[in-house]
Structures are given as C-alpha cells and as structure tokens.
Structure 1
Amino acid sequence: MDNNTLKQRDLRTLWHPCTQMKDYGEEGTLPLLPIQRGEGVWLYDFDGNRYLDAISSWWVNLFGHANPRIGNAVKEQLDQLEHVILAGCTHEPVVELCERLIDITPEGLDRVFLADNGSAGVEVALKMSFHYWRNVDRPQKTRFIRLSNSYHGETLGALSVSDVPLYSATYEPLMLDVITVPAPDCFDREDGETCADVARRQFDHMEQALAEHADEAAAVIVEPLVQCAGHMRMYDPEYLRLLREACDRHGVHLIADEIAVGFGRTGTLFACEHGPITPDFMCLSKGLTAGYLPMAAVLTTDTIYQAFYDDYEKLNMFLHSHSYTGNPLACRAALATLDIFDSDPVLERNRELAAHIDKRLEPLREHPHVADVRQHGMIAAVELVQDKSRRTPYPWQERRGLHIYRHGLTRGALLRPLGNVSYLMPPYVITEEQIDFLVEVMTEGIEKAVRA
C-alpha cells in the first residue's frame, strides 16, 4: 500500500465527517492524509513521512498513539469478554470504572450512566434532567439555557443546545426551543478589565434569564472554561462559581459538558475543579479512554437517581440505551487511562508543559495580525485578525487558517484550524522540544496565512 492508492480508494467510497468532500476531490486544494500507524505523538503515512499530532486526533488522545499500557489492557480483556448486554448483566470492568469515576469527580456525583460517545452523553443529561422534573411533578420545566458560541455535539438534542451556526443553522426546524445567554468570553474584555471582571459582568445576563425562566427551565448547560469548537474561546472560573450558586437559588439543574476539557486538559483533572463546583450532571468522553474506544459517562447525584427509583407500574424509569453501553473493552481502556493518572505525575507534568507553551507563544501576542493568544492548561489558541486594533476578523470565506494547516503538513505537523484560529491541544507525552517545533511551524504558517 502507498499513500496515493489509499487516497484513491478512499475518495471512491468514504464520506468524511465535518468535511466538504469537494476540498479533497480532483478540483480540491486540500491533501487527504493517509495514516498507516501511530507512535507517541507521531502519525506515520505509507510513504515514510511522519506528522506530529498537535490536536490529539480530535482531542481524544492523552498518552500517545499505540500506548503499550492501554493497548495491553485492551488485549487482555479481549481474551476474556468482548461485550455483553448491560441491561440486566454486569461485569467487573464496568463496575470498577464507575467506582473510580465517582472517586475522582467532584463530591456529590454518585451515580454513573454510560453511553457510546460525547453527543450521546449530552443527550442522556438533557433527557435525564427533563425526565427528573417530570418525575417530581414539575412537568412545566422543559426548556434548556445555553451560552452563545457553545457546542455540545451533533445529535439533535445536543445540537439544539449548541450555538455554532456552521453546524446547526441547517437543522433549525428540527430543534428544541432553547434560551440563549451571552457567553462570558474573555476575548470581549474591555480596556482595564480582567477575565474575572468579564465573567461577573456577563453573568448579569444569566441571572436575568434564570430569574425570568426558572419555572420552565430544566437545566443550564455549559462547557466549563473553554468553548472548544467555538474557536477555543475561554472564560474565567468565576462564572462557574456564580452559575452554581444561581442554579441552586433558582432550582435549575447545571450540566457541565467536560467532554473536551476533562481529564487534565485545563490543569486540573476536571475543569469544574477550578470553581470549584459540583454540577448536577457531568458529561465525560474523549479522554476517558485516551482515544482508544468510543465511550461516554454521565455522572449525576443520588437525588436525581432516586427520582427514577420506583415501582415498575409507575413507568418512571430512564429508558435510554445503546447497544454497546458499558463495553468491556472500552471500560478496560478507560481503567488503564486512569491507572496512568494514578501512577504518573501527569497533572504536574502538564502544568510544566503548559508553562512552556505559554512562554513559546508569548512573542505572537505582538504579531500585527494576532488578536489574541489564550490558554487554559494544555489548550492554547492563536486567533488571526485582519485589523488588530479593531479586532476585525478576516472574512471566513478566505479560510486563512488552512494556510497554517497546509504549511504544517509540509513540515510534519498536524495543525487543524478552527476557522482563523490555530490551536495546540497535544497528547500529554509531548516534550518541550516538540512544543518548540510546533510553535515554530505555527508561526511560519501564520506568516503565510496573513500574506495570502
């Protein structure tokens, strides 16, 4: 097999996700990247080229490709039990995983419901919140409050509580009627304001929405600290503290979508720890299995669980299911991932790596076409603009970020942009020298992008 042969076979059969396929066809300008294998931070094609995976393969890979500790755990499980229905059956890996998730997540999250992927996890949380209020005789609480620029997945419920028109506008007629509140995005800070000041100022909008809609609102859903698909916009933990208090005061659930930011991405194991807060629902996926197998977990409180615990005849049970719920192979991958967190100083090392990323990106703050360099832990983003003083964006149709992407591939780096935002969200096994390389390549790519 070689690169070209695989690309030709691919383009005859596959419809890729999140992709305009014409970009890769005969008239297209983007290269399709065939990957044969992975090792650590590197991906290798069939022709001997390698690419540093700066985005952790859609933010899932924590400890490098082909990690032997996780791989061996999955192989061992494969010889014991590959899958069993979780409705009425149980097995050791799923019980141990749920026990350990309860131990490491914020206090008060005492029950675990499993699903297949992040979007499905969000669907679980939305349905469970709605159903809870029905079970406790508050059936009028049917609506959800979201932040502007938020993203929670591609299934219809998850898309309804998202606010990135690129993904959702087409499907508007199919969606839930939700309430949108301006996000506390620190990018919009005024002169002299801190990010905490912005959070407090913007929270007035949420307070007003909760006061006005508490009787009909089931839950508020947020991505703690980083709106990842929303161009990596970031906000201060002060907003989480204010939101938890207000949700309690108004009797509205709080759903924390930690699918992208959980498992060490923001410097703590979970982003909610920065509050610190305990949400009513915490959605986990992506890093849960370190990129090995699809799995999601929704943690909630015993109070919510008890509202469903009743006589069968009352039909109060939560009838949500996926065929592969609690898959033993995925559970073993997740357990091996948690073992690495337990045995290695992952968070301490991440803080060192994050400091190095910050130091290396600092010069870009003075670039005449960089409006913002922002970072939470192991997530860092650089936003390009046409006019720095006015923060005027480049027209989205120009796709400036793709110049960085294409240049990165010529230099052996996978830097997939979000519009005009180039970002780093690498595996935790990256080295300082590899960070230096990525920042160098990104800087070169930015120069090409602004001159295009």
Structure 2
Amino acid sequence: MSESPVWHPFWQHGLGQPVTRVTRAEGAALYTAEGRRVIDAVSSWWVTTHGHCHPRIVEAIREQAGQIDQLIFAGWTHDPAEDVARGLTAILPPELTRVFFSDSGSTSVEVALKMALGFWAHSGEPRHRILVMEHSYHGDTIGAMSVGERGVYNAPYDPLLFDVGRIPFPVGDGANTIEALEAACCDRPAAFIVEPLVLGAGGMMMYGAGVLAAMAEVCRRHGVLFIADEVMTGWGRTGTLLACEQAGVVPDILCLAKGLTGGSMPLAVTLAREPIFQAHWSTDRAKTFYHSSSYTANPIACAAARANLAIWREEPVRERIATLGARQQAGLDRLAVLPGIRNPRRCGTIIALDVEDPAGGYLSALAPRLMALFREAGVLLRPLGNTIYVMPPYCISAEDLTRVHDAIADAVAVVLKG
C-alpha cells in the first residue's frame, strides 16, 4: 500500500511511529484492521462519554439523516436544535438563558470571547483585556491559542496572538492565584477564562473547588465576566455534570462541546446569561452578533445531542460516573506506591500521575516510549509528556479498567529501567 496522504494532528510523522487503522468501535473498545481489541482509555480525545456507537445515539443520527441533513441557521431553525437548547437550559443553571451553537471546543471559546467583548462594546464601556490562568489550553484557533499557555503548541504562530493577563496556577490554598486575580481585576478587564478544576492539555493539573469559587467571587465583585471552559470538564468528567457545580459557581458564559453529543458528532454550544444577549439585542443591525459557521447547529449533530440528553435523563449515568470514579481511585492507590511515580491525583473519573523524568514537560522523551508500550498492550493511552492520565468512557468494565492500570504499571517499570 502506498504512503497515506493524511496529515495527522499532534503527530510528528518524521518519527516513523505506526498509525493504527481502526475498523470498528463499540463501548470502551476499538477494533483494528488486524483484528486486535484495544481499550480506549482516553475516550478518543475526551469526547466519548457513554461508549462508542451507543445504540440510541446511532439510531438518532440514522433517523435524522433521512429528514433534514443541513440547514442554514441564520434566521431558520429546526426541531433538533430547539430541543437541544431547551434540554440544556432545563438541566443547567437557570441563569444561563441563551444557547449559541458552534462546531467544536475551540470555536465555542472564540464565541465566548467575542460575546464578552461585544457585551462591553455595546454597553458603552469598551473593555478589551482578557485574563487567563497559566498552563491553560483552550483550543487551536487564533483566539483560543491567545488565551492558552504559550509554548510548543503555538510558538510558530506567536506573532498572530493577542496579549492577555496571566494569573498563576493555584499553589496550596490558592492564595497566590486569588491575590493576583484581585490585582488584575482592578484594571477593569473584560473577562477571565478558566478551565474549572482540571487543566487538561496543560498536564491534567488539578485545583480545589474552593479556589474556583473564590476566583468567581473576585470577578463578580469587580464586574469582570467569568467564562468557564467546560469543553473537557463538562458532562460528568469531574464527577458532576459541570465542574462548576462543585464550587457553587454559575459562570457568565459557559463553553460545552466534546460530550455534548456523547462524543459521536462535532457540536458545541456557548451559553450566556441574559444581560449578555440583551447587550446585542437592538433595532440597530450593527449590534448583531456576527459569528457563525456553515454548519452551525447541524441537524444531524443536534439529533445526536438530543439523544445524549435523553440518556442523561433516563439512564443511571451519574451512578456509572460514581462507580467509575471509585474504581479509578482504587487503581490510582495501587499505582501511587510504585517507584518513579509522582503527584498521583484524581478528579471525578479522571486520574493522572507523573513519571519521574529530569527533563519533563510536553516534549519528554518518555511520551513516545510509553505510547508504544501501551499500544503493544492493547490500550489507547496518550501521555502528556511525562504525565499519564486515564479518562475512559463511563461504560468501561472493571476488568478493562484493571487492564489499563496494569498496562501503566508495566510500562512505567520498563521506561524507568532505561
């Protein structure tokens, strides 16, 4: 077979590592062209919640594809989008009254930033500065990269990125973060964007709900919009539907994607409080919120999201999440005592640990070695440098999860031998 013309994301083709062809997926398992069964321990980049090819979601996609496949959403609408919007407002905080559709986590963040800047511009008090937390990751479009950590992800594009104010990651009780945010808010920025409780691509860095609540309170007192990027942390990953729930926080703007469709289709939403919508409501067309894509609120993707919402209403999803969290903790306890393991941590269904490495960081030489060992063991894990994390679908069996934890123990022992 000739070389594939496909250019894979976040993949250095020059290293000559194999690219695995998957022909089928079901539940927490992937099946390769060679007939191997591989446990998907990262939910295929954190999107698959209930398992691959969930029958209810598959049937919803099949049915919708024969009715309306695509529709312009500027001044037109359809039942799947209306049902998803109403379903979201029914289960999310009532203060979040408006639902804006987009295509991915990155674009949901772009929408949030534009909503925040538009709010201030149309309120007659133009504010332009955005505050961010260091080590954050919010996506790969220009605005999303601008509010993320600067480094290997985006160094070539730095000339295009706008300046932001950076707040340090919480240490201990988070006093360092709160003090810095308090000082930065005195300059009247437009908004503060944060990944609640867990910084995903930054290395699964975790902080407490008390810090999240304190940050939101600082923003409230200073009139700074609080944007919660729950693209990864939402849909039960941290143990609750939203990570913000654990802090009693209702953001001004909320970003959701990934698990919105159960991981089956690309779809995102940005929810906003009513004053943000009202700042754009006008008889003046110049105040229109000028953002869209061709596939905004695609009916097939919305049908998948509608099925996902039904699963959350009608199936014991929260019980599955609690069970998975307990099993993850048991596995973490076993891994934490192994030689070379540092900073074992868990938040809800996510566990993470660092493998001792003097170099460390995202470009740690341990990452490709670990990935190869996991592949040989029939487990899909993708370390973030020397950080190994497990974030499986909620349907994963106890046996498969034990296999994942065993694969980590075995792989760490091998790489630490040199």
TM-score (norm 2): 0.97
Q: Percent identity?
A: 40
1:142-189 deviation per Cα after TM superposition (whole angstroms, max 9, x unaligned): 0100000000000000000001512122211111110011011xxx54
Offset, 1:67: 1.4
Matches within 5 A, 1:366-381: 366-381=337-352
Q: Which runs of 5+ in 1 are unaligned?
A: 190-196, 387-391
Among 209, 215, 228, the residue aligned to 1:256: 228
| 1:235 and 2:221 are equivalent in the alignment | no
- The whole-number CA distance in structure 1 between the counterparts of 2:275 and 2:354 is 43
Judged with a 3 Å threshold, the aligned counterparts in structure 2 of structure 1 residues 263 and 42 are, in CA distance, closer, same or farther, namely same
Among 280, 285, 293, the residue aligned to 2:265: 293
Among 58, 81, 84, the residue aligned to 1:97: 84
Residue 96 of structure 2 aligns to a residue whose secondary structure is coil
- The whole-number CA distance in structure 1 between the counterparts of 2:361 and 2:202 is 16
| 1:152 and 2:138 are equivalent in the alignment | yes
Among 389, 409, 412, the residue aligned to 1:423: 389
Q: Who is 2:168 aligned against?
A: 182
Residue 165 of structure 1 aligns to a residue whose secondary structure is coil
Q: Partner amino acid for 1:363?
A: R
Work out whether residues 383 and 420 of structure 1, in 8 Å CA contact, stay in contact via their aligned partners in 2: yes
Among 14, 27, 50, the residue aligned to 1:22: 14
- The whole-number CA distance in structure 1 between the counterparts of 2:212 and 2:360 is 32
Name the Cα RMSD after superposition: 1.4
Judged with a 3 Å threshold, the aligned counterparts in structure 2 of structure 1 residues 426 and 247 are, in CA distance, closer, same or farther, namely same
| 1:57 and 2:48 are equivalent in the alignment | no
| 1:447 and 2:408 are equivalent in the alignment | no
Judged with a 3 Å threshold, the aligned counterparts in structure 2 of structure 1 residues 69 and 397 are, in CA distance, closer, same or farther, namely closer
* Runs of 4+ displaced beyond 4 Å: 395-398
Offset, 1:366: 2.4
1:388-431 deviation per Cα after TM superposition (whole angstroms, max 9, x unaligned): xxxx5547655212222111111111111110011101011101
Offset, 1:65: 1.3
Q: Who is 1:334 aligned against?
A: 305
Offset, 1:312: 2.9
Q: Partner amino acid for 1:354?
A: G
Q: Partner amino acid for 1:113?
A: F
Offset, 1:343: 1.0
Work out whether residues 137 and 145 of structure 2, in 8 Å CA contact, stay in contact via their aligned partners in 1: yes
1:348-385 deviation per Cα after TM superposition (whole angstroms, max 9, x unaligned): 22112111111112132223311111111111111112
Work out whether residues 403 and 448 of structure 1, in 8 Å CA contact, stay in contact via their aligned partners in 2: no
Matches within 5 A, 1:186-201: 189=172, 197=173, 199-201=174-176
Q: Partner amino acid for 1:142?
A: H
- The whole-number CA distance in structure 2 between the counterparts of 1:133 and 1:104 is 28
Work out whether residues 106 and 273 of structure 1, in 8 Å CA contact, stay in contact via their aligned partners in 2: no
- The whole-number CA distance in structure 1 between the counterparts of 2:24 and 2:362 is 34
Q: Partner amino acid for 1:415?
A: L
- The whole-number CA distance in structure 2 between the counterparts of 1:71 and 1:53 is 19
Q: Partner amino acid for 1:180?
A: R
Matches within 5 A, 1:37-116: 37-116=24-103
| 1:273 and 2:245 are equivalent in the alignment | yes
Judged with a 3 Å threshold, the aligned counterparts in structure 2 of structure 1 residues 65 and 9 are, in CA distance, closer, same or farther, namely farther
Residue 405 of structure 1 aligns to a residue whose secondary structure is helix
Work out whether residues 164 and 230 of structure 1, in 8 Å CA contact, stay in contact via their aligned partners in 2: no
- The whole-number CA distance in structure 1 between the counterparts of 2:219 and 2:159 is 29
- The whole-number CA distance in structure 2 between the counterparts of 1:434 and 1:45 is 17
Work out whether residues 362 and 384 of structure 2, in 8 Å CA contact, stay in contact via their aligned partners in 1: no
Aligned residues between the structures: 418
Judged with a 3 Å threshold, the aligned counterparts in structure 2 of structure 1 residues 248 and 220 are, in CA distance, closer, same or farther, namely same
Q: Which runs of 5+ in 2 are unaligned?
A: none
Q: Partner amino acid for 1:133?
A: W
Among 284, 301, 304, the residue aligned to 2:256: 284
Q: Partner amino acid for 1:175?
A: L
Q: Which has the higher contact order (CA 8 A, sep 6+)?
A: 2
Q: Who is 1:210 aligned against?
A: 185
- The whole-number CA distance in structure 2 between the counterparts of 1:152 and 1:207 is 22
Offset, 1:19: 1.4
Q: Partner amino acid for 1:94?
A: A
